[in-house]
Amino acid sequence: MKVAEFAYELPPEAVAQQPAEPRDAARLLDTRDLSDHRFRDLPDLLEPGDLVVVNQTRVRKGRLRGRKVPTGGAVEVLLLGRRGREVWEALIRPARRIRAGMRLDLGRIQGSVVTPPADGRVLLHLEADDDIEGILEREGDLPLPPYIHGWEGDPERYQTVFATSPGSAAAPTAGLHFTPRVLSDLQRRGIGLARVDLEVGLATFRPMTADDIEDHVIHPERFLVPEETATAIEETSAAGGRVVAIGTTVVRTLETMAAAPGVVLPGRGETRLYLRPGFDFRIVDILVTNFHLPRSSLLVLLAGFMGDGWRKAYHVALERGYRFLSFGDAMLCVRGDR
């Protein structure tokens, strides 16, 4: 299949520039009948015995601005994750003229380039007089997507209410709509809640540049499936309940660890799983997700999960004024073979 098959016209005014307030006031399109709801209605759209699975990752404040040493040229770094005790993978710009061995002054953090840029990525050796994660949390900038312009709201609005330790370079955006009220309503309705952790990185937000979807390269992302989550999924499936993934990162995590239909292995590791049309989904029955960029791997995943119905859903959402992308609204869809 061609990447061009996953193109659609996204007007600039449809791209959300700020989150809905309150969080659960975001709109929710139920693609089963194309009915309009608010996210706070999610518990009523599911059934007792279903299991909602969320990604509990927290966005690292990993955007740093600094200077090359000794030239003084400006540089911006987005840390993607640790690759050793003092070695980090990062995106760097401008990447031109970056060389191995070059020193970087990033404020309280000092760095040196370990590897020359490859597709904008480098390995950096970082040093500081304090814990780097602590410095980032206090002084780093949240890596908001480039299509969000000028938003200066509370940084916690780009974190989910169930976020734990930082590790991601972007938010698992479908989870941004949850509030304590929604979580409480799920529990009252007899709907379970389970958690995974996938550190959102290049595999999730890197643009597709190949002509054929089969030629797109998926970068590794770290994940964790806790023992209790694997148990909850198996028990839910055995009892006839449905597994509801909140976001594409949850889908990738669970399908990576699928051992059989309805059975997930616990554990941690890295996934390069590339979900696209033709993939045999064995765990996730329902997906709740935001509206994604044209020609993106997330849209390819959605097409693999629900089939060509995504085109009608996106057309209807645009017609009805739904807001798209990270701060936008959401949709609920069922696996195509259901």
Amino acid at 241: G
Virtual CA dihedral for 65, 69, 70, 73, nearest 10 degrees? Answer: -30
In-domain check, residue 207: yes
39 and 159 housed in the same domain: yes
326 and 291 housed in the same domain: yes
- What is the arithmetic mean of pLDDT over 294-320? 97
80: domain range?
63-139
Report which of residues 217 and 224 the model is more confident about.
Answer: 224
227 and 272 housed in the same domain: yes
* SS3 state of residue 32: coil
Q: Give me the CATH number covering residue 284.
A: 3.40.1780.10
Whether residue 292 has pLDDT greater than 90: yes
In-domain check, residue 101: yes
- Last residue in a domain, options 114, 139, 164: 139
My answer on whether omega of the bond before 70 falls inside 30° of 0, hence cis, is yes
Alpha helix (H) residue ranges in 257-296 = none
175 and 82 housed in the same domain: no
Token readout for 34 is 């194309």
Does the CA dihedral 297-258-272-323 come out positive or negative? Answer: positive
Whether residue 84 has pLDDT greater than 90: no
What is the rounded CA–CA span in Å between residue 293 and residue 297? 9
* SS3 state of residue 29: strand
- What is the arithmetic mean of pLDDT over 310-337? 97
189 and 70 housed in the same domain: no
In-domain check, residue 146: no
Whether residue 117 has pLDDT greater than 70: yes
**Is residue 253 within 8 Å of 271, Cβ to Cβ?**
yes
List strands edge to edge, sheet with 330-334.
35-38, 27-30, 330-334, 286-290, 243-246, 51-55, 192-198, 221-225, 267-271
190 and 305 housed in the same domain: yes
Q: What percent of the chain has pLDDT over 90?
A: 93
- The residue behind tokens 């693999």 is 304
Instruction: Give tens-digit pLDDT for 167-215.
Output: 999 999 999 999 999 999 999 999 999 999 999 998 888 889 999 999 9
In-domain check, residue 202: yes
At residue 337, the pLDDT reads 75
In-domain check, residue 321: yes
* SS3 state of residue 242: coil
Q: What percent of the chain has pLDDT over 70?
A: 100
At residue 205, the pLDDT reads 85
Q: Within 13 Å, how many C-alpha atoms sit on residue 171's CB side? A: 25
* DSSP code, position 206: P
Taking residue 144's Cβ as centre, other Cβ atoms within 10 Å add up to 18
At residue 165, the pLDDT reads 84
In-domain check, residue 291: yes
- Last residue in a domain, options 110, 139, 168: 139
264 and 329 housed in the same domain: yes
Name the domain count of the chain. Answer: 2
At residue 283, the pLDDT reads 98
198 and 225 housed in the same domain: yes
At residue 204, the pLDDT reads 87
Phi-psi region of 97 (alpha: psi -120 to 50; beta: other; left: phi over 0): left
26 and 48 housed in the same domain: yes
In-domain check, residue 145: no
At residue 215, the pLDDT reads 95
In-domain check, residue 144: no
At residue 230, the pLDDT reads 98
The string over 315-335, giving b where at least 16 C-beta atoms fall within 10 Å of a residue's C-beta and e elsewhere, is eebbeeebbbbbbbbbbbbbb
Whether residue 154 has pLDDT greater than 80: yes
52 and 135 housed in the same domain: no
At residue 183, the pLDDT reads 98
270 and 292 housed in the same domain: yes
At residue 327, the pLDDT reads 98
* DSSP code, position 15: B
Whether residue 276 has pLDDT greater than 80: yes
φ, ψ of residue 262 in degrees (nearest 5): 80, 5
55 and 67 housed in the same domain: no
- Last residue in a domain, options 80, 110, 139: 139
Q: Would you place residue 328 in the very low, low, confident or very high pLDDT band (cuts 50, 70, 90)?
A: very high
Average confidence score pLDDT of the chain: 96
Q: Give me the CATH number covering residue 130.
A: 2.40.10.240
Token readout for 90 is 């990062």
Residues present in the chain in total: 338
Residue 141: beta bridge partners? 63
Instruction: Give tens-digit pLDDT for 122-143.
Output: 999 999 999 999 999 998 999 9
Q: Would you place residue 338 in the very low, low, confident or very high pLDDT band (cuts 50, 70, 90)?
A: low
